[in-house]
Chains A and B, each alone.
Chain A
Amino acid sequence: MAVAETTIDRTKAKPGLSPATRTRLNNIAIPMGTTLTLLLIWQFGVRLFEVPTYIVPAPSDVIHVFQTDFGLLMRNFWPTFMESLAGFFIGNLTAVLIAVTFVHSRLAERAFFPIAVFINTIPILAIAPILVLIFGPGMTAKVVIAALICFFPTLVNMVRGLQSVSPQALELARILSASKIEVFWKIRLPSSLPFLFSALKIAATTCVIGAIVGEWIGANVGLGALIIESTFNFRSPLLYATVFMSSGLSVLLFASVSIAEKLIVRW
C-alpha cells in the first residue's frame, strides 16, 4: 500500500505537468507500483511463513546472488545469447528464403509445405535430443534448435505477407510492365514487412527457449546448463537469478526487434 501512495504522491507533486506527460508517467508508475507490491508480498510472505530458501528464495536472496555471482551469471549468459542470436538469424533467414520460393513456385509449396508442418508438429523437447546426438554437445546443436523453433511462425507469416499484395497493385505493376523481380522488391517485399515483424517478435522470445532447451540436454555452459546445475544442487537463489537472466535476454531481443520495426515499418 505504501508503494501505491508514493505513486500518487509523485504525480501530485508536479502539478505543472501536461496531461500527456502525466499519462506517460502513470503508464510507467502503475505497472512499476504493481511489480514492487508483488515483490514485497513475496518477500514478506516467504519470511512470514518461514519457507526454506531452497524451496522458495526471497527476492532479497535472489538480488544477493546477482551481486555475489554476477561473474558466473554473465559467463553463462553470453553462450546462450550467442546461440539464441545465431538461431534467430539462421532460422528466420531460412524461413524468409523458403517463403519467397513458395510464393513463386506452387510446386515447391505443394512439395515442401507438408514437411514444414510435420516438423512443426514435433515438440521441440522431443526433437532436441536427436539434434544433440547429431551435432554433439557444442554450440551447433543449440543454434539448430533455436533456429528450428523460429522457423515455422516466420515461414507462415512471411508467405501470408508476400501474398498480401492487393490485386489492384498487381494490375498496376502489369500496366507498368514490371518484371517479377521488380514486383518482388518494390511491392511484395515491402508489403510483407509488417507480417515479418509480427513473426520476428514471436521468434525473439522463442529462440531463447530453443537455446535453453538445447542446453538442458547436454551442455557445460549457458543459462540452460546453469538452471539444471543449480536445481540439482538446491541453489534456488541462483536458479531464480538464472531464470530472470533468461527472461531478461528474451526482453532484450524482443525490444531490439520492436525498435527495428518502429524504424523500418513507418506506415
Chain B
Amino acid sequence: MQGGRTTAASLSAASVKFGNFTALTDITLDIEAGDFWTILGPSGCGKSTMLRLISDLVPPASGRVEILGKTTEAARLAREFAFVFQEATLLPWRSALKNVELPLEIGRKRGIEIPTGDRTPLELLELVGLKGRENAMPHELSGGMRQRVAIARALVCQPKLLLMDEPFGALDEMTRDHLNLQLLDIWKETGTTILFVTHSIPEAIFLGQKVLMLKANPGRVKEVVEIDLPMPRDIALRETPPFNRYCSQLRKLLEAC
C-alpha cells in the first residue's frame, strides 16, 4: 500500500539469468493499480523477459516479484493477471467466442475456482468491437480482429493486471491506431492495470501514463518518464507540440542506451 493505493506489481532487485547470460538485473519497480505503463528499450534489453518474469513464465534468479502482495505463482493460480502475446495465439479449431471462453474451461473440471468478470464472453467480444462475429473461425478474421479476440480472452477472468507483449507489432498503421484508441477505452472501462511492451516511441507515449525505458547488456532500468498528457487521448494529440517533445526526449534516451 502506498498512499492508499494498491500496488499491482512490485519488483525489488529482481534479476533473470539464462545460463550465463544476464537478461535482467536489479529491477526495482512499483506499479500502482490502475496505471498504464509502457515499456520501451533497444532490442534485446529484456522487455519481453520482464513481462515473462512478472507472469511467472521465467523465475527470478534473485530478488523478489510480487503481484498484489502475492507471489507470482499464487497470482497466476488466482488468475490475477492475463497475457496478450504478439501473435493472437488463438486455437484455430475454436470459434472466436469459444476462444474467449477457453480460460473459463481450463481448471473447471479440477474444481478450481475461476474468477469470472462482470462481462460475459459475448459482451467482451462486443467491447472489443466484434459483435456479430462470435461464431467466426480465426482463419476467417483479419489480423487485427484476431488480436481483439485475444484481448477479449485476456479480459474474461477480469484480471487486475494485463500484460501485453507488442500486441499490435504485426499490424498495419491504421489498424494499430484504431486498436490503440480501443485499448485506452477498455483500460478506462475496466480499470485494470496495463503493462504494455512496444518498440514504437509514439505508441508508448500515446498509450502510457508512464514510460519505462530499459537499457541493454544487461537489461536494467534506464529511466521512468511520466507522460503528462491529458486523458482521454485522441489521434490528434500526436500532432501537438508536447507530444513531439516527448518523442524527441525518448528518442534521445533510446539512442543513449
On A, residues with C-beta under 8 Å from B are 166, 168-169, 171-179, 182, 186-187, 190, 193, 265-267
Chain B contact surface mostly: loop
A175 touches B91 (CB 8 A): no
On B, residues with C-beta under 8 Å from A are 55-57, 76-77, 79, 81-83, 85, 87, 89, 91-93, 102-103, 105-107, 109-110, 112, 137-139
A175 touches B55 (CB 8 A): yes
Q: Which 3 A-B pairs have the closest CB atoms?
A: A267-B92, A176-B106, A168-B89
Residue of B nearest to A267 (CB): B92
Q: Give Cα distance in the complex from A173 to B153, angstroms.
A: 13
A176 touches B89 (CB 8 A): no
Q: Give Cα distance in the complex from A178 to B108, angstroms.
A: 10
Contact partner of B106 (CB less than 8 A), chosen from A171, A173, A193, A267, is A173
Residue of B nearest to A182 (CB): B106
A266 touches B137 (CB 8 A): yes
A168 touches B91 (CB 8 A): no
Other contacts beyond A171-B57, A175-B82, A190-B91: 5, CB < 8 A: A171-B85, A172-B85, A176-B102, A177-B112, A182-B107
Q: Which residues of A contact B139 (CB under 8 A)?
A: 267
Counted as pairs of residues, one from A and one from B, with CB atoms less than 8 Å apart, the total is: 57
Q: Give Cα distance in the complex from A266 to B92, angstroms.
A: 9
Q: List 18 A-B contacts (CB under 8 A).
A: A166-B87, A166-B89, A171-B57, A171-B83, A172-B85, A174-B56, A175-B56, A175-B83, A177-B77, A179-B107, A182-B107, A186-B102, A187-B91, A190-B93, A193-B93, A267-B92, A267-B137, A267-B138
Give B192 Cβ to nearest chain A Cβ, in Å: 15
Q: Which residues of B contact A186 (CB under 8 A)?
A: 91, 102, 105-106
Q: Give Cα distance in the complex from A193 to B93, angstroms.
A: 10
Contact partner of A168 (CB less than 8 A), chosen from B87, B105, B109, is B87
B76 touches A175 (CB 8 A): yes
Give A165 Cβ to nearest chain B Cβ, in Å: 10
B83 touches A172 (CB 8 A): yes
B103 touches A176 (CB 8 A): yes
Residue of B nearest to A193 (CB): B93
Q: Give Cα distance in the complex from A178 to B87, angstroms.
A: 20
Q: Give Cα distance in the complex from A168 to B106, angstroms.
A: 16
B91 touches A178 (CB 8 A): no
Q: Which residues of A contact B137 (CB under 8 A)?
A: 266-267
Residue of B nearest to A264 (CB): B93
B91 touches A169 (CB 8 A): yes
Q: Which residues of A contact B138 (CB under 8 A)?
A: 267
Q: Give Cα distance in the complex from A187 to B110, angstroms.
A: 17
A178-B107 contact, Cβ under 8 Å, with A266-B93, A267-B92 = yes
Q: Which residues of B contact A172 (CB under 8 A)?
A: 83, 85, 89
Q: Which residues of B contact A179 (CB under 8 A)?
A: 107, 110
Give B70 Cβ to nearest chain A Cβ, in Å: 14
Residue of A nearest to B114 (CB): A176
A168 touches B85 (CB 8 A): yes
A177 touches B107 (CB 8 A): yes
Q: Give Cα distance in the complex from A222 to B89, angstroms.
A: 50
Q: Which residues of A contact B87 (CB under 8 A)?
A: 166, 168
A178 touches B106 (CB 8 A): yes
Residue of B nearest to A165 (CB): B91
Q: Which residues of B contact A169 (CB under 8 A)?
A: 89, 91
Q: Which residues of A contact B105 (CB under 8 A)?
A: 186
B89 touches A177 (CB 8 A): no
Residue of B nearest to A183 (CB): B106
Contact partner of A174 (CB less than 8 A), chosen from B57, B81, B110, is B57
Q: Give Cα distance in the complex from A190 to B138, angstroms.
A: 15
Give A82 Cβ to nearest chain B Cβ, in Å: 33
Give B30 Cβ to nearest chain A Cβ, in Å: 22
Q: Give Cα distance in the complex from A172 to B82, angstroms.
A: 9
Give A104 Cβ to nearest chain B Cβ, in Å: 18
Q: Which residues of B contact A190 (CB under 8 A)?
A: 91, 93
Q: Which residues of A contact B82 (CB under 8 A)?
A: 175
Contact partner of A267 (CB less than 8 A), chosen from B79, B85, B93, is B93
Residue of B nearest to A175 (CB): B83
Q: Give Cα distance in the complex from A169 to B102, angstroms.
A: 12
Q: Give Cα distance in the complex from A71 to B85, angstroms.
A: 63
Q: Which residues of A contact B107 (CB under 8 A)?
A: 176-179, 182
Give A45 Cβ to nearest chain B Cβ, in Å: 50
Residue of B nearest to A172 (CB): B89
Give A158 Cβ to nearest chain B Cβ, in Å: 17
Give B94 Cβ to nearest chain A Cβ, in Å: 8
